[in-house]
Structure 1
Amino acid sequence: MRFYKLLISTLICISTTAQADRIKDLVDVAGVRSNQVVGYGLVAGLSGTGDGRDLRVTGQSLTSLLSGLGVSIDGPVSEFDLGENLIRLAQQNATQPLQTDNLASVMVTAEIPPFAKPGQRIDVNVSTVGTAESLRGGSLILTELYGIDGQVYAMAQGALTVTGISESAAGSSIEIGVPTSGRIPNGAIIERLIETPFETADHFVLNVRDADFSTTNAITQAINSTYGQGLATPLDAVSIAVVAPSDLVQKVSFISEIENMDIDPGEPTARVVINSRTGTAVINRSVKVAAAAVSHGTISVRVNA
């Protein structure tokens, strides 16, 4: 039975007909990309599944946060207010980590899409960095998200959506999914614009996703034949430099027209992928089958070159 499936899949997947592709499906515009941001924050409101006293930095972060809000939790102790024994006890407690069962230290990550503007919202991912058992029911406290240059580009806050579940009782436990990570849809607001050379550059570069000299040459010829020779220049098997209009509106329109042009890309490298578990074979159009005959049981297949 597996042989039959493999044979049928192979015959279906063989294709020798080339087809035109849009340039936008083959290339990326250099500099037009997403940017990663990251931050450290606290998730509050957990029902006893936080870091507790196991992670000292969680208590330190809470102390720093409250201090910034004008709240002091370990101020000086006066003998006028407390007896000698109470003073000693208070001083001992001041050196102990805070009990933070309802709090967890987390890393917050997000991806800012290209050309995103201040005021727009993006999704954020939240993951524990300590010993918290679950983030279910928690809310992220206002957190700064930094870019690779150390600048703050977004602020994140909100209630977490956690799909994982972790429960334990009577010596037994069950865990479904990953309860130590969650997501906040539209949980961050972009605060700073990420500068790109797109608006001021006198040219732009198209990068072919799969390096191929034939595809690069085909794109170059298509642009030059439509807009004039010398407008597009191939740099290597990946990059093509294209002279751009100085006016921003014209530049956007020009790139849009190029992206929607159809070309016949270079033939891909012949490739056959076989999944032995499912008996599926995937063969791209560059594969050529020579004359052959295959016989298995009552099935015979002949391929004439």
Structure 2
Amino acid sequence: MAMALLPACVAAAAVSDTVRIKDIGRFGGWRDNMLVGYGVATGLAGTGDSARSRSTRQSIANVLSQFDVVIPPDQVQSRNVAVVMITATLPPFARNGDRLDVTVTSMGDARSLLGGVLLMTPLKGPDGRIYALAQGALSVGGYKYDVNGNVVQKNHPTVGVVPGGASVEVAVGTDLMQGGQLEFVLTDPDYTTANRIAASVNATLSGGLAVASDAATVKITVPEEYRQNMVSFITRVESLNVQPDRRARVVVNERTGTVVAGGDVTISRVTVSHGDLRVSVVTDYLVSQPLLVRGTGAGVRTEVVPQTRVGVTESGGEAVQLGVGSTVADLVQALNRIKVSPRDMIAILQGIKAAGALRAELIIQ
């Protein structure tokens, strides 16, 4: 019975490794666009830019001049205003009236944007055109209060967001088809995966429509009957299943002591010897206090005498031996049995990689 169930388990594992084509890449021309703007946030409770910020004074004067209020910049003394930069992402196929979330960051010396309101600000693209207008109340997930040198702060109060605070004014069109072809771009370029995508498309849509031009791009010819119905064709292509090829990688985070590796990352025959050397230095401070009696001379005083002890403890080294075909998971289990710390485990993996026994790319973050 166990032998009969084994092929079914292997087949189930193979099916589980397949993913949709749309989950491992995108079509050429499908991209986000960055928007940026310069504006003014008002309504701050005395936590805005100080009078030293000339750009803030000039910006306030410019805003007031639009309402026929003319004030010289050097006469502006408000601390309820801060100059800010606004950023947003314009998605593909954006239409007039769509709402975008915007991020607002302080440019001057404002202490906090809490309670502020962003005045209407145009958001421009790299070509200098205005694509959206942003305005609204700021949502700041923190605060900062400073009174008489005492500071109480939570999170980062000089950055805020305006959910749905920008309105798209210029629609963005996206032309996916160029010369009768679609280009599918892989997020993680790989020749094997690109070839499997082309094979999957050709097996489902007969006619040899797809060809992998390089490790990152698969060119797909759109049949004549689908050129007036691109949505249906793209839906069929991106819903196809393919098994992506994975590169052997081990990711190490030295700050947190985390090691992440695929279960199939193998290690050549290797022996690891791990020892532990501990050096402790302890200093005790002894105080010599003279007797307080009459006639004590002027040179007699209290003396602090340090007493330092150095101790060295070296535990016996323990060895771990792995045979041919062992994986990183086997190594981690063996090291856990001899109670190796995560940071020592990272050092061991680096040593195994330097010895040429780790058959994977070691990525240290």
Relative to the length of structure 1, the TM-score reads 0.78
Structure 1 residue 72 corresponds to structure 2 residue 101 = no
Task: Select the residue among 92, 100, 119 that pairs with 2:78.
Answer: 100
- Structure 1 residues 120 and 275 mapped into 2: Cα distance closer, same or farther (>3 Å)? closer
- Structure 1 residues 167 and 212 mapped into 2: Cα distance closer, same or farther (>3 Å)? same
Q: Secondary structure at 2:266's aligned position in 1?
A: coil
Q: Using the alignment, how far apart are the partners of 2:38 and 2:254 within structure 1?
A: 45
**2:144·2:152 contact (CA, 8 Å) conserved in 1?**
yes
**1:58·1:100 contact (CA, 8 Å) conserved in 2?**
no
Q: Using the alignment, how far apart are the partners of 1:62 and 1:249 within structure 2?
A: 53
Aligned to 2:100: 122
Aligned to 1:38: 36
Aligned to 1:159: 137
Q: Secondary structure at 2:74's aligned position in 1?
A: coil
Aligned to 1:272: 250
254-263 or 144-153: bigger deviation: 254-263
**2:48·2:109 contact (CA, 8 Å) conserved in 1?**
yes
Aligned to 1:180: 158
Please give the per-residue CA displacement for 1:167-206, whole angstroms capped at 9, x wherever unaligned. 1123211211111110000000000012322377622210
Structure 1 residue 22 corresponds to structure 2 residue 20 = yes
- Structure 1 residues 245 and 142 mapped into 2: Cα distance closer, same or farther (>3 Å)? farther
Could you tell me how far 1:46 is from its partner in structure 2?
0.8
Letter in 2 for 1:211: P
Q: Secondary structure at 2:153's aligned position in 1?
A: strand
- Structure 1 residues 275 and 98 mapped into 2: Cα distance closer, same or farther (>3 Å)? closer
Task: Select the residue among 180, 192, 197 that pairs with 2:170.
Answer: 192
Aligned to 1:251: 230
Letter in 2 for 1:42: V
**2:87·2:103 contact (CA, 8 Å) conserved in 1?**
yes
Q: Which runs of 5+ in 2 are unaligned?
A: 1-12, 268-323, 340-365
Q: Using the alignment, how far apart are the partners of 1:201 and 1:73 within structure 2?
A: 57
Q: Using the alignment, how far apart are the partners of 1:222 and 1:188 within structure 2?
A: 41
Could you tell me how far 1:237 is from its partner in structure 2?
0.3
**1:53·1:97 contact (CA, 8 Å) conserved in 2?**
no
Letter in 2 for 1:161: S
Q: Using the alignment, how far apart are the partners of 2:242 and 2:153 within structure 1?
A: 51
Aligned to 2:286: none
Letter in 2 for 1:45: G
- Structure 1 residues 177 and 202 mapped into 2: Cα distance closer, same or farther (>3 Å)? same
**2:45·2:115 contact (CA, 8 Å) conserved in 1?**
yes
Q: Secondary structure at 1:96's aligned position in 2?
A: helix
Q: Using the alignment, how far apart are the partners of 2:338 and 2:70 within structure 1?
A: 82
- Structure 1 residues 291 and 37 mapped into 2: Cα distance closer, same or farther (>3 Å)? closer
Please give the per-residue CA displacement for 1:257-279, whole angstroms capped at 9, x wherever unaligned. 1111111222x222233567777
Aligned to 1:283: 261
Please give the per-residue CA displacement for 1:104-155, whole angstroms capped at 9, x wherever unaligned. 1000000111111110101000001011111111100000000000000000
Please give the per-residue CA displacement for 1:38-88, whole angstroms capped at 9, x wherever unaligned. 00000011111111312111121222222223x2323xxxxxxxxxxxxxx
Letter in 1 for 2:145: E
Q: Using the alignment, how far apart are the partners of 1:248 and 1:65 within structure 2?
A: 51
Aligned to 2:278: none
Task: Select the residue among 57, 60, 65 that pairs with 1:59.
Answer: 57
Q: How many residues align?
A: 262
Q: Using the alignment, how far apart are the partners of 2:156 and 2:202 within structure 1?
A: 52
- Structure 1 residues 248 and 178 mapped into 2: Cα distance closer, same or farther (>3 Å)? farther
Please give the per-residue CA displacement for 1:274-301, whole angstroms capped at 9, x wherever unaligned. 5677775433144236356958469xxx
Q: Which runs of 5+ in 1 are unaligned?
A: 1-16, 75-93, 299-305
**2:195·2:211 contact (CA, 8 Å) conserved in 1?**
no
Q: Using the alignment, how far apart are the partners of 1:194 and 1:283 within structure 2?
A: 41
The structure with the largest alpha-carbon Rg is 2
Could you tell me how far 1:97 is from its partner in structure 2?
4.9
